[in-house]
Amino acid sequence: MRVLLFIVAVIIMVSCSSQRNLQKTYIGKPLSSLESELGKPQTVFNKESGDIYIFEKVEMLESTEISQHKLTLDPMVTPKVKKTSRYTVTVVDEVITKIELEEQYDRNN
């Protein structure tokens, strides 16, 4: 019974990941649907297996206080960060066949 619950939990976690949702949204759709959201690609590679487009989206995340559920004199505050989302998209015949997301966070001092 525990093994079955574990397998179900793993399947739910994998199916609900941001990578899986990204694939459900864009695979099989034309490249223009992604370009309308992210703009023009930063880099394009032409390969035999298909064209690879790299899109980048940069956001500045402000600092925020972390709730500790207790009274403290010195609150904990997260630093400001720059979030870079890099989408690597494989396109064959103007249709998206593969998409991967890589996120990078850089602290601002």
* pLDDT at residue 13 in the model: 58
Q: Which residue has the higher pLDDT, 31 or 8?
A: 31
Backbone angles phi, psi at 77, to 5 degrees: -130, 135
Question: Is residue 57 packed enough to be buried (19+ CB in 10 Å), middle (13-18) or exposed (0-12)?
Answer: middle
Please state the rounded mean pLDDT for residues 37-48: 88
In angstroms, rounded to a whole number, what is the distance separating the alpha carbons of residues 7 and 9?
5
In angstroms, rounded to a whole number, what is the distance separating the alpha carbons of residues 54 and 91?
11
Give which of 34, 53, 35, 58 is closest to 92, Cα–Cα: 53
Give which of 65, 44, 55 is closest to 86, Cα–Cα: 55
In angstroms, rounded to a whole number, what is the distance separating the alpha carbons of residues 84 and 20?
19
Q: Which of 17-21, 22-26, 67-71, 93-97 has the lowest mean pLDDT?
A: 67-71
Please state the rounded mean pLDDT for residues 52-81: 81
